[in-house]
Amino acid sequence: DAKTTQPNSMESNEEEPVHLPCNHSTISGTDYIHWYRQLPSQGPEYVIHGLTSNVNNRMASLAIAEDRKSSTLILHRATLRDAAVYYCILRDDRDYKLSFGAGTTVTVRA
């Protein structure tokens, strides 16, 4: 499986943007970039996914580098409810399995 690298932790102030980087230098042409987040003591929650183009949804934006070797999840205005572990995952287009790495723990200060 292709691997991703994320910072262990990031801190943000409430109502400020959060930029979460993810490196995936060994990404293949059939890999989709997925982001999930996990709040304490809960199952993960889908955030966003993309292949080549930048993507926006109600939760976040995903900016994908032109060479696809890195991506950035953007939370536009962090709230206390956004405090979670954020996972950047590469999913092969040929199957549906998700391989979770260590993720980035996001802390939001009031």
Partner 1 sequence: GAVVSQHPSRVICKSGTSVKIECRSLDFQATTMFWYRQFPKKSLMLMATSNEGSKATYEQGVEKDKFLINHASLTLSTLTVTSAHPEDSSFYICSAREFSSYNEQFFGPGTRLTVL
87 lines the binding site for partner 1 (CB under 8 A): yes
Q: How far is the CB of 68 from partner 1 (least distance, A)?
A: 16
99 lines the binding site for partner 1 (CB under 8 A): yes
Q: Which of 15, 26, 102, 109 binds partner 1 (CB under 8 A)?
A: 102
- Cβ neighbours of 56 (radius 10 Å): 13
Q: Which of 66, 67, 81, 96 binds partner 1 (CB under 8 A)?
A: 96
98 lines the binding site for partner 1 (CB under 8 A): yes
Q: Rounded to 10 degrees, what is the CA torsion of 61, 76, 107, 64?
A: 30
- Give the residue from 89, 100, 90, 99 showing the smallest Cα distance to 31: 90
32 lines the binding site for partner 1 (CB under 8 A): yes
Do residues 27 and 69 lie in contact, with contact meaning Cβ atoms separated by under 8 Å?
A: yes
Binding-site size, partner 1 (CB under 8 A):
21
**How far is 28 from 22, CA to CA, in rounded Å?**
15
Compare residues 41 and 53 and give the one whose CB is closer to partner 1.
41
